[in-house]
Amino acid sequence: MQNLNTKKYKNIYFDLDRTLWDFETNSEKTLQELLIEYFPEKKDQFKKLLSVYYPVNEKLWVLYRKGLVTKEVLRTKRFTESLKQLGINDTEKTIQFGNDYIKRSPYQKGLFPYAIETLEYLKTKGYRLFLLTNGFREVQVVKIAQSGIEKYFDKMICSEDAGYQKPHRKIFEYALKSVNAKKAESIMIGDDLNTDIAGAKKFGMDCIYFNTVNKKHDIAVTHEVNSLKELQGIF
């Protein structure tokens, strides 16, 4: 493992969802509110909804990253498939449910512990901070504004801007070129071993794995942290 303190990093790229913005907590809060509002008779089946929604959502995101489904199909089908397993077959209400999820969830403000404190620290140390996300721009801009972290970042690069998604090397190339950054002076921080970490490594960029659940893996990373606060001891 390299000693990051010997490196001359100038640019730090953060993933957003599940790295800074607490996706699960924010998503589940929104889903519970919507289930009670749209299908109150099913409110006691919230845990079942989560148990089916997560795998369905992930399956569709994999297809989306491969270009096999559109953004519109992803946004609708994840709810029609999930709610159907709760015995809900009202297509019109399900579509409205999905639309409201897209509108409301980004307004949730939950961040991982020490997110603000760490971003403040890094900014005062003089690092250029960027967001590099596969999420949809119209959603991500709301998240960073509502959660109070927008001011810390020089720029947010979305996969839609680059025309490629992490882990494709082209999005990392775009992320560097768009802000005139050098690879040797840049590092990627993210929670996803496949998109953030393997993508950065294959591109030849240093990376920090944000592993909140102590997930077992055999990927060599530049560094690994369980808490954002640990970054303050690295940079």
Q: Which helix (H) or strand (E) holds 130?
A: strand 128-133
Q: Which of 214, 180, 217 is nearest to 197 (CA)?
A: 217
Render the burial of 88-106: b for 16+ CB within 10 Å, e for the rest: beeeeebeebbeebeebbb
Domains of the chain: 4-22+110-233 (3.40.50.1000), 24-106 (1.10.150.240)
Q: How far apart are CA 189 and CA 41, in angstroms?
A: 42
Q: How far apart are CA 163 and CA 48, in angstroms?
A: 36
Could you list the pLDDT tens digit for every one of the 235 residues in the chain?
445 554 689 999 999 999 999 999 999 999 999 999 999 999 999 999 999 999 999 999 889 888 899 988 998 999 999 999 999 999 999 999 999 999 999 999 999 999 999 999 999 999 999 999 998 899 999 999 999 999 999 999 999 999 999 999 999 999 999 999 999 999 999 999 999 999 999 999 999 999 999 999 999 999 999 999 999 999 9
pLDDT tens per residue across span 62-97? 898 888 999 889 989 999 999 999 999 999 999 999
**For residue 233, what are its two tokens?**
């001891």
